[in-house]
Amino acid sequence: MKVKYSYLKRQFSDAEDLWIKLKKFVETGDFTLGKPLVEFENKFSKLMSVKHTIGVNSGTDAIKLSLKAVGIKSGDEVITAANTFVATVGAIAEIGAIPVFVDCDDTFCIDPNKIEKAITSKTKAIVPVHFTGYMANMNKIMPIAKKYKLKIIEDACQSILGSIDNKLAGTWGNTGAFSLHPLKNLNVWSDGGLIITNNDLLAKKLRLLRNHGLKDRDTVSLLGYNSRLDTLQAVVGNWLIPQTKKIAETRIKNAKYYDNEFKKIKYITIPHRPKNYKIVYHLYIVFAEKRDALLKYCIEKGIEAKVHYPIPIYRQAALKYLGYKKGDFPVSDIHTKKIITFPCDQHMKKIELDYIITTVRNFYRLKNE
């Protein structure tokens, strides 16, 4: 059996009604900042129970424009996690700010107990990454931000509808950034991103920033970017957004199924699942003994298992200029050797989940009942 990592071929195989909507939209020619975009932004605000959603052209830009909007400048230090997707760090660096790393804990997110040590007089913001579908511990991070007067831009690109104490990812900080990349939990057919905020002034500034700073056709009130979310993609977004909760619930169900089986295998350790967290499993990750051999075995058996990531961002060649070296963030380093990611998406079939579980059991030479 082959179990693919990408579900995109399945996801849009039955979308006749969407094609009809797209055809109708194309006939309107309303391509830039059009009506379906406004509709999509409003629907997302409702889903997240926030006042404002601003569509932008990627999750990376959602972070970048947010940092810009809260006043982060060249030379400011911005704290983030030592293991994240490169985009978090790219967004910080792009505006000339200096990424400052803090180690992760076993929820794969920034360890809140190590943040204060990284704060200097230059620190202006924290970008907690709600990595893999977990959330960074916002109950501990918010008081630190308050104490040191730091802005919080949440990188919620992997955790749409994740929450702690029923408070959603992206709604704790000054803004929350989301990605609509084809492989994110809520996706479109191209790049896209969303920023949410309850702050009217920030929302206004973000709307300017995404559209060249144009207040109207002839007035440039600040220097911005060309970073609009394509209205065509908003049509796709409008089609998919009613499924967002179901997508999260299905991933959670799949993860529970895995957890229940994997916990019977002594060579696998399931990460802590705090009761007050809703984890939405953008990535389903466990710790495995003999990880490299297991990964190889799974791939040989047709399962597209992965590692997120074999080299943590802080050790990437592009970030050498920051002066970090191997061993600076030991928890992230251990993760690179022990973690394995299995497909967990909403389109997985039970026989596929079972095949993965059986394959892992076979690898460890355990009897399958």
Ligand X SMILES: *Cc1c(COP(=O)(O)O)cnc(C)c1O
Give, as one character, the DSSP assignment of residue 316.
Answer: S
The residue nearest ligand X at its CB is: 59
How many CB atoms are located within 10 Å of the residue 42 CB?
A: 13
Report the relative pairing of strands 151-155 and 123-127 from DSSP bridges: parallel
Of 60 and 163, the one with the shorter C-beta distance to ligand X is: 60
Scan residues 144-163 and list those touching ligand X (CB under 6 A).
Answer: 155, 157-158
Q: Would you call 147 helix, strand, or coil by DSSP?
A: helix
Of 184 and 301, the one with the shorter C-beta distance to ligand X is: 184
Distances (CA, A) of 254 to 42, 79, 160: 30, 33, 17
CA-angle at 142, arms to 92 and 61, nearest 5°: 25
Distance from the Cα of residue 301 to its chain's centroid: 29
> Any alpha helices (H) in the chain, and if so which ranges?
8-11, 16-28, 35-48, 59-69, 86-94, 138-147, 200-209, 231-240, 244-262, 291-300, 330-338, 350-363
Confirm or reject binding of residue 58 to ligand X (CB under 6 A): yes
In 3D space, the residue among 316, 305, 308 whose CA is nearest the CA of residue 109 turns out to be: 308
Residues with Cβ < 8 Å from 218, sequence gap 6 or more? none
In this chain, which of 45, 66, 83, 88 binds ligand X, going by CB under 6 A?
88
In this chain, which of 85, 281, 309, 363 binds ligand X, going by CB under 6 A?
85
Q: How far is the CB of 331 from ligand X (least distance, A)?
A: 18
What is the rounded CA–CA span in Å between residue 316 and residue 47? 36
Q: How far is the CB of 316 from ligand X (least distance, A)?
A: 14
Q: How far is the CB of 81 from ligand X (least distance, A)?
A: 9
Confirm or reject binding of residue 179 to ligand X (CB under 6 A): yes
Q: How far is the CB of 351 from ligand X (least distance, A)?
A: 29
Residues in the interface with ligand X (CB under 6 A) total 16
In this chain, which of 45, 60, 227, 341 binds ligand X, going by CB under 6 A?
60
Q: How far is the CB of 131 from ligand X (least distance, A)?
A: 6
Q: How far is the CB of 245 from ligand X (least distance, A)?
A: 20
One character per residue 193-232, x = contact with ligand X (rule: CB under 6 A): x---------------------------------------
Of 129 and 357, the one with the shorter C-beta distance to ligand X is: 129
Residues with Cβ < 8 Å from 359, sequence gap 6 or more? 297, 298, 301, 303
Q: How far is the CB of 237 from ligand X (least distance, A)?
A: 13
In this chain, which of 84, 187, 231, 238 binds ligand X, going by CB under 6 A?
84
Confirm or reject binding of residue 124 to ligand X (CB under 6 A): no
Binding site for ligand X (CB under 6 A): 58-60, 84-85, 87-88, 129, 131, 155, 157-158, 179, 181, 191, 193
